[in-house]
Copies of this chain bind each other. A is one copy, B any other.
Amino acid sequence: MKYGIALFPSKKLQDLVNSYRKRYDPNYALVPPHLTIKNAFEASEEEMKTISQELRHIAQEANPLKISIKKVSSFSPVNNVIYLKVEPTDELIDLHNKLHTGGLESKPEYSFVPHITLAQQLSDDEHSDVLHRLKMTDVSHEETIDRFHLLYQLENGSWTVYETFLLGKDCK
């Protein structure tokens, strides 16, 4: 089964992000707006029991994360993904690193650029247009996220939440 780990921002930010994704992100219907903190990985249901334990431990030792967004950016020319750039705070990088070591060891495909996708799979022209327009929008936003979610992917490509992990809670 394919699993992934993500942070969901507040409803307010999700609604804003969806107003763009609706038009510009083919994955709009597959998962709510999110910040991926560990990319899709394969694990058996048996392995997930151990991994869940480890995630609880990691969550317990972490603190709620302040996230700060200042601008819209793009992964172009690597790919035409337009996103809200989330400032890479020490806390966020630390959580990302912990989710890629120990029983969760895996080498990320790309270096960690915390982001919330607004648009993807656009043609080069549409990508330039949308990026240009979004860059002129004020997207400044700050909030605190106090949990992360472990999700699994269904056959249709959509994601279901398996479990939430509260940051800084001392038992579960």
Give the shortest distance, in Å, between A159 (CB) and chain B (any CB): 8
The residue on B at minimum CB distance from A158 is B32
Bin chain A's interface residue count: 20 to 34
Q: Write out the residue numbers on chain B whose beta carbons fall within 8 Å of the beta carbon of A15.
A: 154-156
Let me know if A107 is at the binding interface, CB within 8 A: no
A114 to chain B, nearest CB (A): 19
For A172, the chain B residues whose CB sits under 8 A away are 166, 169, 171-172
Minimum CB–CB distance from A144 to chain B (whole Å) comes to: 12
Contact with B along A131-172 (1 / 0, CB 8 A): 000000000000000010100101110101111101001011
User: Is B160 within 8 A of A163, CB to CB?
Assistant: no
Nearest chain B residue, comparing its CB with the CB of A18: B156
Which residues in B have their C-beta under 8 angstroms from that of A147?
Answer: 163
Binding site for B on A (CB under 8 A): 1, 8, 11, 14-15, 18, 22, 29-30, 32, 147, 149, 152, 154-156, 158, 160-164, 166, 169, 171-172
Besides the contacts A163-B164, A169-B172, what 15 more A-B pairs have beta carbons closer than 8 Å? A1-B11, A11-B154, A11-B160, A14-B154, A14-B160, A15-B156, A18-B155, A18-B156, A18-B158, A161-B161, A161-B164, A164-B164, A166-B172, A171-B171, A172-B172
